[in-house]
Amino acid sequence: MARQARLRAFLNRGATAALGSVGGGAEAARTGKDASAVLPFHRDSRKYEFFAPVLQALRTSTTGWSVSGDAQWRLQSPARLFGTASADHLPPAEDASLRGSSVASSSEGATEESPVGNSRAPRPRGKGIRKKSVLEFAKVDVELLPTVILVGRPNVGKSALFNRLIRRREALVYNTPADHVTRDIREGIAKLGDLRFRVLDSAGLETAAASGSILSRTTEMTGSVLARTQLAIFLIDVRAGLQPLDLEVGKWLRKNAPGIRTILAMNKSESHDDGGGVLTAEAAEAHALGFGDPIAISAETGLGMAELYEALCPLLEDCMLQRLNDKRIEDDSALDMENEENKLPLQLAIVGRPNVGKSTLLNALLQEERVLVGPEAGLTRDSVRAQFKFDGRTIYLVDTAGWLQRCGQEKGPASLSVMQSRKNLMRAHVVALVLDAEEIARNRCSMKHAETIIARQAVEEGRGLVVIVNKMDLLNGRRNLMLYEKVINAVPKEIQTVIPQVTGIPVIFISALEGKGRMAVLHQIVNTYENWCLRLPTARLNRWLQKVMGRHSWKDQATQPRIKYFTQVKARPPTFVAFLSGKAQLSDSYIRFLTKSLVEDFNLGGIPIRVMQRQIPRKVGGSKRTKSAFPRVPIRTHSDKRSGDAVT
């Protein structure tokens, strides 16, 4: 009777609310601060030991969880509903050591403790990434980082997860169930906690696509990229459930990537994270794919990133240790080859109208089938970023989409491609404008309105400009010999007429399909970038200025501007300042004369040069004494004679 009375008093004081609380735990049970509950064992370890069996009986009957039995509560509701419930049954002395433990580690301990931890239920989600990797991935060279590819059927959220991992909105994300937004392979550096790895965003896989179609070509491209990846994240859509196409993708992945470790992730799980058992049913269904326990994530909200970290961390550490060992062996055998100068990286943007050969040029520069090419206009949607080295310098290539102008007719992914192309144009150091030689010969016009706007915008932003005329192979033959020569002679002159702001724009004629002109393009781009970063000493500029002033014939010496000295204040692009004496201003014609002379004498073709002017006061010497408004009064001195007479 006494024990029942104590139990009745305990229940009347609100202990049941404390047990079911999310953030309660052992601390709330002892202190009674959770849900305003006043417990009979408040701050008393002896009373706590007495009431521990009662607590255990209540918790087993209400939640289905027992210390000695199976963790059946995981199959009924998510782990986050119970917080740190695994420590609630401990006395205060034992629970003191667990107060500093994280939520992620407690959920991990509960998984190891229960034999049902590897069941079909999704892994419990922690509140944050607290575990720290053994290796410091942030200090490892980017080329040594392991590669993880995102695969799955179309419209499952691969691009959204890619943006979540790289922490930027680079990949286009658009809800198109009947179409596919991503068509090329995108690459970025993922940052998940303290983990760093290279992540690849692939196009949606459709193994049953017709041969020669866009989907079949994207599937072949994804299969070729698997050879240089170590891990794969297989995404499925938990909202739509397991589809037959998911099973086909799983079979394709086992066939084409047998040696790649695969992690199964159920994306778009934020709407089913309510403890209704939907995730459990979907996880049981996902086991039919044969890739183990799935991880419930949400690329849009960031749900489940802690569990993804726990799954990736040991796999990435193994790959990283193996790569570091291989790199150490290579470094020991090639120590003398590391004396090359560390050169600054170059950002190159390839722009142009649709179907002029931008993607073909990117593949030719990389010497691999990196992006999708074909006769269809507007094939590229995402701005694909690639990296390679040339002559000891790292070059970042960006292949932009063909939409250069925004209009009201563009909707959906097309409008997003326009904005992304403009952003990449602003980030670039050198802009390569690609033209179609066949259209130039047919229309007898080098640049259309859209290309002229892009070229002028690049010049106004201060970027280096290189014009590349592609598809010159279509003008070969005896019939097109005269047309070929006319195109080569007329294009540079017409470009200079259309873009008079920049003098000496380099024009290169190539055939990207046949690979002709690749080295000429690379050398010209590197040369343009070096001129864009050029800095000239002031003494050299002033000697050059004297020669320029001497070889120019002035009609009237009074009209000749008096430049004290000429100096460069910044590079990228080169900016110069002319210091003038007096209040005279340089005319626009004289500024154009100086700009043209700089381009010709220092070989700065294709570089937007900026010349500014400043006035210097005539009296620039040391400060002179100003006249006072009051007359100067001499200082009176005492005479020695008077003082001598006074003494005598």
**What is the rounded distance in angstroms from the CA atom of residue 19 to the CA atom of residue 63?**
10
Whole-number pLDDT of residue 646: 44
312-358 residue pLDDT tens: 999 999 999 888 887 665 554 443 444 444 578 899 999 988 889 99
Within 10 Å of residue 19's Cβ, how many Cβ atoms? 21
Q: Which of 366-370, 468-472, 641-645 has the highest average model confidence (pLDDT)? A: 468-472
Whole-number pLDDT of residue 549: 83
What single letter denotes the amino acid at residue 247?
L
Alpha-helical regions (H) of 140-277: 158-166, 214-225, 244-256
Statement: residue 555 has pLDDT above 50: yes
* Helix, strand, coil share (%) of the chain residues, nearest 5: 45, 15, 40
Within 10 Å of residue 405's Cβ, how many Cβ atoms? 12
Which of residues 198 and 331 earns the better pLDDT score? Answer: 198
Give the lowest-confidence range in 9-18, 184-193, 298-307, 517-526: 9-18
CATH of domain 137-329: 3.40.50.300
* Superfamily (CATH H level) for 534-648: K homology (KH) domain (3.30.300.20)
Residue extents of the structural domains in the chain: 2-113, 137-329, 346-532, 534-648
Statement: residue 36 has pLDDT above 70: no
Whole-number pLDDT of residue 307: 93
Contact 264, 291 (CB under 8 A): yes
Whole-number pLDDT of residue 227: 84
- Do the domains 137-329 and 346-532 sit in the same CATH topology, yes or no? yes
Whole-number pLDDT of residue 330: 57
Whole-number pLDDT of residue 607: 93
Whole-number pLDDT of residue 139: 85
419-428 residue pLDDT tens: 777 777 888 9
In angstroms, the Cα distances linking 617 to 455, 458, 486, 579 are: 40, 37, 54, 10
Contact 16, 58 (CB under 8 A): yes
Which of residues 101 and 263 earns the better pLDDT score? Answer: 263
Whole-number pLDDT of residue 138: 85
Whole-number pLDDT of residue 424: 75
512-533 residue pLDDT tens: 999 999 999 999 999 999 999 9
User: Could you tell me how many helices (H) and strands (E) the chain has, helices first?
Assistant: 20, 15
Its pTM stands at: 0.68
Whole-number pLDDT of residue 463: 94
Which of residues 141 and 172 earns the better pLDDT score? Answer: 141
Exposed, middle or buried, 297 (CB in 10 Å: 0-12/13-18/19+)?
Answer: buried
CATH of domain 346-532: 3.40.50.300
Q: Of 170, 204, 157, 213, which is closest to residue 184 (Cα–Cα)?
A: 204
Give the lowest-confidence range in 3-17, 76-90, 595-609: 76-90
Q: Of 206, 226, 232, which is closest to residue 217 (Cα–Cα)?
A: 206
Whole-number pLDDT of residue 450: 84
Whole-number pLDDT of residue 19: 40
Which of residues 72 and 550 earns the better pLDDT score? Answer: 550
Contact 402, 352 (CB under 8 A): yes
Confidence class of residue 436 from pLDDT cuts 50, 70 and 90? very high
Mean per-residue pLDDT of the chain: 75
Confidence class of residue 24 from pLDDT cuts 50, 70 and 90? very low
Confidence class of residue 129 from pLDDT cuts 50, 70 and 90? low
